[in-house]
Amino acid sequence: MQQPAPPSGLLSQEDRYRLLVDAVIDYAIYMLDTTGIICSWNSGARRIKQYEEAEILGRSFSLFYTEEDRRAGLPAKALEMAATMGRFEGESWRVRKDGTRFWALVVIDPIHASDGTLIGFAKVTRDLTERRMAQEALRRSEQQFSLLVQGVTDYALYMLDPAGIITTWNAGAQRIKGYTPDEIIGQHFSLFFEAADAEAGVPQRALEVAEREGRFEGQGWRVRKDGSRFLVHVVIDPIRDNAGDIIGFAKITRDVTDSVQAQAALKEAREALYQSQKMESIGQLTGGIAHDFNNLLTVILGSLGIVKKRMVGDSKTASLLDNAIAAAHRGSSLTQRMLAFARRQELDPQPVDVGLLIRGMSELLGSSLGSNITVETRFPLMLRQVFVDAGQVEMAIMNLMINARDAMPEGGNIVVSAKEALFSRSGVASEQEKFICISVTDAGSGMDEATLQRAMEPFFTTKGLGKGTGLGLSMIHGLAEQSGGKLVLKSEPGQGTTAELWLPISTAVAERSMSGEEQGCAASVKPRQLKVLIVDDDPLVLLSTRAMIEDLGHRAQAACDGDEALALIREHNDFDLVITDYAMPSMSGSELAKHIARLRPALPIIISSGFTDAPSFATLRLPRLPKPFNQTELERAMALIGS
């Protein structure tokens, strides 16, 4: 048991030292003899190691070491080092009385007598367990952070010193940029920039912005180790010490090439969808307008034809009538172009030899294109036929060549070529088929991207006011689509334009055309008088068609819709022919034809229309009378039925 301390005035120097040492509770301070036996024990030793003075005095200090350290002889080695080297200092695990471990900083100093003889050791131990745990926690945190950074492969994460020199390098940086840590650490980060950007000081400006504004963020092109370019999104953050001074930069780089390209592709797809929807809407509107216009032209042509037949002896009036009829035919040509754009015009597809067709146009081309235009044709010796409407293709080629001529006002050479090649209408490579490609190439001024995008829009023209309807390319586009092909335009400013008309190869055999003599014989057969039922929702068309039929010597009766027509057929059993419009409300011409086929299977039916919206004609095998029609065309159609 400790004795109470004497009054301070009676303390010797030795007592003062003893009281001082015993007052220290954060350090275990005690003495050992030369063999390591504990000779003294302070209050700090009691607190840290949990032994009372009576329990520990006379015992070896090796008691505080771990079993493995004792087996290794570390206590004796520590005393030996202190004796020979004048001091021992180290950190290691020690053991308390209750068996728990603590991390200790140990200092052992030798104690010598006045004559230099070693008489023992002074040992100071400090419990650094909390600091050790904090250091371990920090080390684990740093290790985990390092593993995290190294584990990121989608981002390049690395540090720069204040001058832009790379000091760390993660796995993502290696994957994205291609450099290993040994190759890149110590290099300036401007190495990743394109030469022009590096010379312009772009890397340095990025660091300046980060330092001045606290962050730099941007996007640009960078260069990998193999020289390939890639688009990146970059963030640079400054790293400051406690005093606020810049000690470096944290740099995050992400390769956004694929995502940006995907966004661009999505934008193009959306624009294409919008364009397709716009064209479809315009096509529907155009088809509807052309249908109504065809009805009006049918009335005009029919009425003018009858008036001309009945008017005799007035040459001036006859000339005016001819002009009016010619104007109506021009209107008919315009509606055909509109319907071609809407893909609703009446087509008569047949196997066509493209080379033969274009050679047959040579005289017409020569007079239409002018003397300052030369035409060069390039066709292989053997070229399979295409399955199209020959007249429509002829008109399409003529339009393309006139466009080529107009693109070269000073004259020049037009190349017309044809080849057989694989082509995908859907744009999918695996869905390619064999097509015939007819190309018309000029050496004109060409078109920029904006003009090229709009070139096939209806009524769009670059020829100036009054110099073009703007329906030429849209008509060809419609013809190609309706024929199962495609129109492709290729052009660059100053490089001329190439228009490619891709048409499907024919699998059919061309029918034998009727000779002139056979046509004459067929025309000379006088048809018998017929009783005709006319069905149309347009009253003007009904009146005009009835007048033309009666003028031809036949009898006619009119119905304004399908229901009225069926009622008349049930009531009258003497109709020889039904001529019905195709596009009517409540009941179409093809639906009416099906009802008639059930009531009167042998009753012939002609469907009159400017366009076809459904495959019903081909299914029912009905003869067609295209609108607008004149009396001669009506008579020819009726003659085929009545003969």
For residues 283 and 216, membership in a common domain is answered with: no
Tell me the pLDDT tens digit for each residue of 242-301. 888 999 999 999 999 888 888 877 887 787 677 666 656 655 666 566 667 777 777 888
Query: Is residue 415 in some structural domain?
Result: yes
Query: Is residue 391 in some structural domain?
Result: yes
For residues 535 and 597, membership in a common domain is answered with: yes
Which residues constitute the domain of residue 28? 8-131
Per the CB < 8 A criterion, the answer to whether 118 and 112 are in contact is yes
The SS3 call for residue 593 is helix
Domains identified in the chain, total number: 5
**CATH classification at residue 469:** 3.30.565.10
Give me the pLDDT at residue 81, please: 94
Residue 28 has, within 13 A of its CA and on its CB side, a CA count of 28
The CA-based dihedral angle spanning residues 595, 599, 603, 608, taken in that order and rounded to the nearest 10 degrees: -20
Which residues is 436 bridged to in the sheet?
420, 503
Give the pLDDT band (50/70/90) at residue 204. very high
Q: Are strands 605-609 and 497-504 parallel, antiparallel or unpaired?
A: unpaired
Average pLDDT of the segment spanning 465-480: 63
Give me the pLDDT at residue 613, please: 47
Q: Are strands 118-127 and 27-32 parallel, antiparallel or unpaired?
A: antiparallel
Q: DSSP of 249-291, one letter per residue?
A: EEEEEEE-HHHHHHHHHHHHHHHHHHHHHHHHHHHHHHHHHHH
Q: DSSP of 156-206, one letter per residue?
A: EEEEE-TTSBB----HHHHHHH---HHHHTTSBGGGGB-HHHHHTTHHHHH
The SS3 call for residue 109 is strand
The rounded radius of gyration (Å) of the Cα atoms in the chain is 51
For residues 531 and 498, membership in a common domain is answered with: no
Per the CB < 8 A criterion, the answer to whether 475 and 344 are in contact is no
Q: How far lies 423's CA from each of 63, 473, 634, in Å?
A: 91, 20, 41
Give me the pLDDT at residue 520, please: 47
Give me the pLDDT at residue 519, please: 45
State the Cα–Cα distance between residues 209 and 573, nearest whole angstrom: 94
The SS3 call for residue 34 is coil
Name the percent of the chain lying above pLDDT 70. Answer: 78
The CA-based dihedral angle spanning residues 308, 312, 316, 318, taken in that order and rounded to the nearest 10 degrees: 20
Per the CB < 8 A criterion, the answer to whether 355 and 383 are in contact is yes
Query: Is residue 197 in some structural domain?
Result: yes
φ/ψ of 294, rounded to 5, equals -60, -40
Give me the pLDDT at residue 292, please: 72
For residues 466 and 589, membership in a common domain is answered with: no
Domain boundary among 440, 475, 504: 504
Average pLDDT of the segment spanning 134-153: 69
Query: Is residue 263 in some structural domain?
Result: no
Which amino acid, one-letter code, is at 339? L
For residues 427 and 567, membership in a common domain is answered with: no
Query: Is residue 167 in some structural domain?
Result: yes
Burial class (CB in 10 A: 0-12, 13-18, 19+), 144: exposed
Nearest to 503 by CA among 393, 365, 347, 341: 393
For residues 94 and 119, membership in a common domain is answered with: yes
**CATH classification at residue 528:** 3.40.50.2300
Q: Are strands 27-32 and 386-388 parallel, antiparallel or unpaired?
A: unpaired
For residues 477 and 497, membership in a common domain is answered with: yes
For residues 361 and 465, membership in a common domain is answered with: yes
Tell me the pLDDT tens digit for each residue of 27-83. 899 999 999 999 999 999 999 999 999 999 999 999 999 999 999 999 999 999 999
Does residue 110 or residue 426 have the better pLDDT? 110
Query: Is residue 261 in some structural domain?
Result: no
For residues 289 and 382, membership in a common domain is answered with: no
Give me the pLDDT at residue 226, please: 93
For residues 281 and 190, membership in a common domain is answered with: no
φ/ψ of 44, rounded to 5, equals -65, -40
Query: Is residue 518 in some structural domain?
Result: no
For residues 356 and 331, membership in a common domain is answered with: no
The SS3 call for residue 73 is coil
Give the pLDDT band (50/70/90) at residue 368. low
Reported pTM: 0.40
Nearest to 389 by CA among 349, 351, 352, 360: 349
Give me the pLDDT at residue 82, please: 93
- Can you tell me which residue has the tokens 């095998």? 621
As a residue count, the chain comes to 643
Give yes or no for residue 630 having a pLDDT over 60: yes
Q: Residue 476 contacts by C-beta under 8 Å, 6 or more apart in sequence? A: 340, 396, 399, 400, 487, 499, 501
Domain boundary among 302, 318, 340: 340
Tell me the pLDDT tens digit for each residue of 491-514. 888 889 999 988 888 765 444 444
For residues 380 and 493, membership in a common domain is answered with: yes
The SS3 call for residue 492 is coil
Give yes or no for residue 575 having a pLDDT over 80: yes
Give the pLDDT band (50/70/90) at residue 147. low
Tell me the pLDDT tens digit for each residue of 310-366. 777 677 777 777 778 777 776 666 666 555 555 455 556 778 888 888 777 766 666
CA angle 389, 394, 399 (to 5 degrees): 125
Give the pLDDT band (50/70/90) at residue 383. confident
**CATH classification at residue 69:** 3.30.450.20
Does residue 274 or residue 127 have the better pLDDT? 127
Query: Is residue 143 in some structural domain?
Result: no
Minimum mean pLDDT range among 525-534, 544-553, 626-635: 525-534
The SS3 call for residue 575 is coil
State the Cα–Cα distance between residues 101 and 128, nearest whole angstrom: 11
State the Cα–Cα distance between residues 545 and 539, nearest whole angstrom: 10
